[in-house]
């Protein structure tokens, strides 16, 4: 049987406590996912080989967490909102001001003559009527982005970072680069710590000191 001294046991306890506190700290400073209250389109969705409409009367496809396939036809287009030969504004309502630094827009492409990745403009608004352009992502049409329309791999995302949004409404404007534009799952997040970093560090240090004190008291009690 292996016997540990009090010092060895105390050291192991402190190491475990440190790892646990570090795990908590990483959660504190990690990215926060932000879910909109609702969203709507300024252009109706279209029908082609399949129907690419969203749920009526309240759209849900873009925020329901159900990730579609990279191949838009793999599930008969069920995951996708689709528009033919048009740009579309998708307006997301958050209910109050939120901080957003990253937006991921799910999309796909199978050929330059059919479904093509869009370019994106991101706007923000405090009232849902007056919009400020925040950032743009230009996606030049390129056949290297083609995916087999029956692929069952997860679809990719177009990503815009470092947005610095602090608003109640966000508009994702999809600019058509081909006949069809398909979008699925629009995700919002930020990496702003819910607890300021100095406070998080203070909590981490205080936790370790408290654990060290507990270990010392426990050691004394055994000696007595």
pTM of the model: 0.74
Mean pLDDT (whole number) for 133-144: 98
- The pLDDT of residue 109 is 98
pLDDT(180) > 80 = yes
- The pLDDT of residue 196 is 46
CA 135, CA 112: separation in Å to the nearest integer?
25
Neighbours of 139 (CB within 10 A): 16
Eight-class DSSP state of 115: B
- The pLDDT of residue 55 is 83
27 Cβ contact partners less than 8 Å away, ≥ 6 residues apart: none
pLDDT(83) > 70 = yes
CA 136, CA 144: separation in Å to the nearest integer?
21
- The pLDDT of residue 57 is 82
Q: Which CATH number fits domain 32-190: 2.60.120.1190, 3.40.980.10, 3.30.310.10, 3.20.20.120?
A: 2.60.120.1190
The predicted-structure confidence for 59-75, as pLDDT tens digits, reads as follows 999 999 999 999 999 99
C-alpha distance from residue 115 to each of 62, 75, 143, 177, 199 (Å): 18, 15, 11, 9, 48
Question: What does the chain come to in residues?
Answer: 224
pLDDT(5) > 50 = no
CA 199, CA 217: separation in Å to the nearest integer?
27
Of 88-97, 111-120, 160-169, 183-192, the poorest mean pLDDT is in 183-192
- The pLDDT of residue 56 is 76
CA 22, CA 27: separation in Å to the nearest integer?
9
Q: 124: which 2 tokens?
A: 């923000």
pLDDT(81) > 60 = yes
Q: Indicate the pLDDT class of residue 15, thresholds 50, 70 and 90.
A: very low
pLDDT(106) > 90 = yes
pLDDT(215) > 50 = no
What residue ranges of the chain are covered by domains with CATH 2.60.120.1190? 32-190
Average pLDDT, the chain: 82
195 Cβ contact partners less than 8 Å away, ≥ 6 residues apart: 28, 203
Query: Which carries the bigger pLDDT value, residue 130 or residue 217?
Result: 130
φ, ψ dihedrals at 145, nearest 5°: -85, 0
161 Cβ contact partners less than 8 Å away, ≥ 6 residues apart: 101, 102
Rounded to an integer, what is the distance from CA 96 to the centroid of its chain?
18
């Amino acid at each position: 049987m292996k016997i540990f001294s009090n010092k060895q046991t105390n050291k192991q306890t402190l190491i475990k406590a440190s790892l646990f506190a570090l795990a908590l700290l990483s959660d504190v400073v990690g990215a926060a996912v932000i879910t909109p209250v609702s969203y709507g389109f300024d252009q109706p969705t279209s029908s082609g080989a399949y129907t690419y409409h969203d749920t009526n009367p309240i759209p849900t496809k873009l925020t329901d967490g159900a990730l579609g396939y990279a191949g838009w036809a793999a599930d008969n287009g069920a995951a996708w909102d689709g528009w033919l030969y048009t740009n579309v504004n998708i307006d997301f309502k958050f209910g109050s001001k939120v901080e957003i630094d990253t937006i991921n827009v799910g999309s796909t492409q199978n050929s330059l003559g059919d479904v093509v990745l869009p370019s994106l403009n991101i706007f923000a608004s405090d009232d849902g009527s007056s919009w400020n352009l925040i950032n743009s992502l230009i996606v030049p049409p390129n056949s290297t982005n083609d995916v087999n329309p029956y692929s069952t791999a997860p679809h990719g995302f177009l990503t815009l970072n470092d947005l610095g949004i602090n608003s109640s409404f966000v508009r994702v404007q999809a600019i058509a680069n081909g006949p069809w534009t398909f979008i699925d799952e629009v995700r919002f997040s930020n990496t702003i710590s819910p607890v300021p970093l100095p406070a998080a560090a203070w909590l981490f240090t205080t936790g370790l000191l408290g654990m060290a004190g507990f270990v010392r008291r426990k050691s004394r009690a055994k000696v007595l």
